[in-house]
Amino acid sequence: MAKALLGYVNSEQHSAALLAGENRRLRARISDLEAVVVRLAEENDALIAERRLLAEAADATAPAMQLA
């Protein structure tokens, strides 16, 4: 019986170690994904600003083209 209990305790410790490793891996993945979200948000903001500038430039040249 003692051997059975000892095996059970060892497997719990092994499971805890596996869970801790999985937890570290998942935390690292979350950190990577958060960095991707920040990068994509910055790219999106830059694209929105560029589109706004292009729209303003098009609006500024539109009346000049109508006069010609």
Segments making up each domain of the chain, as ranges: 1-62
Residues of the chain with pLDDT > 70: what percent?
76
Query: Which pLDDT score, from 0 to 100, does residue 66 have?
Result: 59
Helix (H) / strand (E) containing 4: helix 2-67
For 22-52, write each residue's pLDDT tens digit: 999 999 999 999 999 999 999 999 999 999 9
Whole-angstrom CA distances from 57 to 31, 52, 53, 61, 68 are 39, 9, 6, 6, 17
pTM over 0.85: no
Mean pLDDT of 3-31: 84
Query: Which pLDDT score, from 0 to 100, does residue 14 have?
Result: 81
